[in-house]
Amino acid sequence: MMIIMHNNATPAQVENVIKHVKDAGLAVHLSQGVEATIIGAVGETHNIATEIFEILDGVDIVKRITQPYKLASRQFQPLNTQFTIRKTIFGGEDVGVIAGPCSVESRSQIIETAIAVKEAGAIALRGGVFKPRTSPYAFQGMGEEGLKYMAEAREITGLPLVVEIMSQTQLEMMLDYVDVFQIGARNMQNFNLLRSIGETTTAVLLKRGLSATIEELLMSAEYILSGGNKNVILCERGIRTYENSTRNTTDINAVPVLKSHTHLPVFLDPSHSTGLADYVTSIARAAIAAGADGLIIEVHPDPSNAVSDGKQSLKPEKFAKMVKEVGQIAQILGRNLATIQ
Q: Which of residues 70-129 bind its own copies (CB under 8 A)?
A: none
CB of 194 to its own copies, least distance (A): 8
CB of 166 to its own copies, least distance (A): 5
Classified as helix, coil or strand, 153 is helix
10/31 with CB nearer its own copies? 31
- x/- mask, its own copies, residues 234-253, rule CB under 8 A, reads -----xxxxxxxx--xxxxx
H or E, element range at 279: helix 277-290
The CA distance from 187 to 208, in Å, is 9
Position 182 contacts its own copies (CB under 8 A): no
CB of 46 to its own copies, least distance (A): 7
201/260 with CB nearer its own copies? 260
Position 321 contacts its own copies (CB under 8 A): no
58/160 with CB nearer its own copies? 58
Task: Give me the sign of the Cα torsion angle 15, 20, 21, 22.
Answer: positive
* Interacting residues with its own copies between 194 and 223 (CB under 8 A): 194-195, 209-211, 213-216, 219, 222-223
Instruction: Determine the interface stretch with its own copies among 81-89, 103-111, 187-195, 315-323 (rule: CB under 8 A).
Output: 187-195
- x/- mask, its own copies, residues 6-25, rule CB under 8 A, reads -x------------------
CB of 87 to its own copies, least distance (A): 28
CA angle (214, 220, 221) in 5-degree steps: 90
DSSP 311: G
Q: Which residue among 77, 158, 230, 291 contacts its own copies (CB under 8 A)?
A: 291
Tell me the β-bridge partners of 231.
none
What is the amino acid identity at position 109? Q
Q: Which residue among 191, 199, 317, 336 contacts its own copies (CB under 8 A)?
A: 191
126/300 with CB nearer its own copies? 300
Angle between helices 144-157 and 107-120 (to 10 degrees): 40
* Interacting residues with its own copies between 134 and 173 (CB under 8 A): 134-138, 166-169
CB of 10 to its own copies, least distance (A): 14
The CA distance from 226 to 179, in Å, is 20
CA distances to 171, 245, 323, 336, 339 from 327, rounded to whole Å, are 35, 28, 6, 6, 11
Residue 239's nearest CA partner among 263, 257, 214 is 214
The count of residues interacting with its own copies (CB under 8 A) is 105
With 0-12 CB in 10 A as exposed, 13-18 as middle and 19+ as buried, what is 3? buried
Classified as helix, coil or strand, 119 is helix
Instruction: Determine the interface stretch with its own copies among 45-53, 91-99, 106-114, 156-164 (rule: CB under 8 A).
Output: 45-53
